[in-house]
Amino acid sequence: MNLSPVNSLLKGALLSCLTAGLFAVPALQAESAPLSSSETTQPMQATDTDNPFFEPSSLPFQAPDFSAIRLEHYKPAFLRGMEEQIREIEAIANNPEPPTFENTVEAREHTGAMLLRVSRVFSNMSSANTNPELQAIQTEMAPQLAAHSDNIQLNNQLFARVRTLMYSDAANELDEESRQLLTRQYRAHVRAGANLDEAGQARMREINGRLSSLATQFSENVLNTSRERAVLIETREELAGLSDARIRAAAEAATARGHEGKYLLSLTNTTRQPITASLQNRETRRKVWEASAFRGLGHDGHIDNRPIILEIAALRAERSELLGFNNFAEFQLQNEMAGHPDAAYDIMLNMLPAVKANTRAEADAITALMRADGITDELQPWDWEFYAERVRADQFNVDENEIRPYFELERVLHDGVFYVMEQQYGITFEERFDLPVYHPDVRVFTVFAEDESEIGLFYGDFFARDGKRGGAWMSSYVVQNRLKGELPVVVNVLNIPKATEGEPQFVSLSNVVTLFHEMGHGIHGLFSNVRFPSLAGTATPRDFVEFPSTYEEDWAIQPEVLRNYALHYETGEPIPLDLLGRFLEARKFNQGFDTFEYIAAALLDLDWHTLSSSEIPTDAEAFERESLARHSVDWSFVPPRYTSGIFNHVWPGGYAASYYAYLWSEVLAADAFEFVQQSGGLGSEIIRHYQRTVLSSGGSRDPMELYRDFRGQDPTVDALLRRRGLDPTPVN
């Protein structure tokens, strides 16, 4: 449930031109002409006339023309796009006229258009619909794009112009958004090493090139290791507890891999595996959990990410020290709301006592059920999900199977997510079928404002499949900006298990919440109303960007919203009030576990990135154990949400030293949601005020100023504690 971390391939290109897109953007495969192995092994040479990236798309909203894009188009577009942008940058840097905001800072917003077109599409393809050929292009282009970024940020003449403007009297006369853009460009130069001497800049180039290659390799390994470690089950009896539909899906997956008569269980991207909640066979649960937990660690000859982790950590530390920081976390958080790693540590460590108390109480309840089942050994991580569901069933009289028929995807989407968007912001979604998509499962909607004017396009890619990385994310093909008169084109990508043919498409509660969460990111992009593309939509600090998405989550379980979409898929009857009440109460159980596993992963991330270059360990697994023990979060039955070997947010992604951001943003989200409820709730004018202040401003203003303008005061953690069931204090 996140915005997509910047794809390592795209990162250099986006940084170099400073356009909006702190996050990656989805992909493509022409629906009308899918790539076959014969087409990809002998790529054609694209010409000026047939490469769709060479000119802006002629489709509505400049949506990518997936029907025209082929594998052989990417590399020529990358190469020409970089050449084109360097010429544009050189023209700005060597302009004989004195630097002005218009001929230097604003002029850069017009550079790199072709490179952005191909980067946004390719980045999404490599996340949502990849294949070995795309991975090969990614591996080849990543260091070239990193070098391209360095060629811009370390251009001495360009930096001199930006620095002159930064410290000129003219800067004080700029409007707030223009000052923000100037400041971003200046800081990007400095943080890239523009103030270093020649030797320092040369070393920065070496580090950046190597990091881009390592990040690409890590991402590919994580994708491949989930496939490699999928669990093959011999007999149907070992799958007791799963529905017939899920067992059929597992059989089909095994057959597709050449294991006729067996069953294959795929893995989600987290350490915990939701399927263990249903598996009655404890040994099967153990196999699934261990396959997940030991991914990327080289056990039993499997894929090994440990050398990559150690090298990335060392290079990040060295790069930060070159720039005058003690470690990478200090460097990374300089531009975040937290400002310093100490602030990130504080928010998590201050919550830990309450979190651990809740988790211990949950563990005691689970252990009691295990003992009643005759299990006398210690609680294990593969027991937790299964017995947590049992506790819910016993204490709250809630059965997941009793709830499931009320969460059918189309109703959740139209009568839940879209309904809430209309009630809050007056927008509507109209599905269209005239635009090409990169996979048959992808859907496209035009988004209309209350006055029926078009806001932008929304793509939904909801189902899990081979070639799609785990998790969920939002990104953009086109970002809103008034400079070029462009409207947004955004996409939400999820990994909902697809029902077998003829079965109803139910959605788990966690995926229901994810649909709301990712739409929160989506409207952050759709409602953007800024002049400059670099500041549009989600181009905000990491520890702010999850605020709008987390805020939307709570609407998923508001009774008035549930009554609108939680309807029985056969009868259309609303979910019974008694079941609804028990269901909402049952959600409070397991909040200790959920928070504990998240904080453990976030602390691990910070610990890796507060190391100096001389402190990098030689044993990644030993360091992880020491980190968890140091913070007293080394409870064997609650492992971190992500272990180091599969921590895709952190090693290749944009959440390095920033995984804490979800909790930081949740403080804002919980405080904001509680304030909205006190101010009238769904449909209240305060929500339109939130839209105007927060959602429309993108990164054009300081995020805390935006929050204060909306809320009237700084946030507190009280609402967060109540949201997670960690504080019984009622709302006044």
- The CB-side HSE value for 274 (13 A sphere, CA atoms) comes to 15
Residue matched to tokens 């966690």: 510
- DSSP-derived letter for residue 352 is H
Q: Tell me, yes or no, if 228 is annotated catalytic.
A: no
- DSSP letters along 547-592, please? HHHHHHHGGGG-HHHHHHH-B-TTT-PBPPHHHHHHHHHHTTTTHH
Whether 642 and 297 have beta carbons less than 8 Å apart is answered as no
Q: Are residues 417 and 562 in contact, defined by beta-carbon separation less than 8 angstroms?
A: no
Phi, psi of 93 (to 5 degrees): -65, -35
Neighbours of 398 (CB within 10 A): 21
Contacts of residue 515, defined as CB under 8 A and 6 or more positions apart, other chains included, come to 412, 413, 416, 417, 462, 492, 494, 507, 556
The whole-angstrom separation of Cα 396 and Cα 413 is 27
CB 516, CB 556: distance < 8 Å = yes
Q: Which of 205, 114, 113, 83 is nearest to 154 (CA)?
A: 205
SS3 432: strand
Q: Which of 175, 46, 24, 70 is nearest to 436 (CA)?
A: 70
454-463, strands of its sheet edge to edge: 428-432, 443-448, 454-463, 489-496, 473-478
Exactly one of 518, 546, 553, 666 is catalytic; which is it?
518
Of residues 373, 393, 398, the one with CA closest to residue 383: 373
DSSP state, residue 99: P
Cα–Cα distance between 291 and 266 in angstroms, integer?
10
Cβ atoms of residues 373 and 399 within 8 Å: no
| Cα gap 576→574, rounded to integer Å | 6
- Quote the radius of gyration of the chain (alpha carbons, Å): 25
What is the DSSP secondary-structure string of 610-665?
T--GGG--S-HHHHHHHHHHHTT---TTS--SS-GGG-TTTTTSTTTTTTTHHHHH
Neighbours of 346 (CB within 10 A): 12
Give how far Cα 488 sits from Cα of 40, 221, 329, Å. 31, 32, 32
> Quick one: three-class SS letters along 450-507?
CCCCEEEEEEEEEECCCCCCCCCEEEEEECCECCCCECCEEEEEEEECCCCCCCCCEC
Query: Which helix or strand (DSSP H or E) is residue 282 part of?
Result: helix 282-293
* Residues involved in catalysis: 518
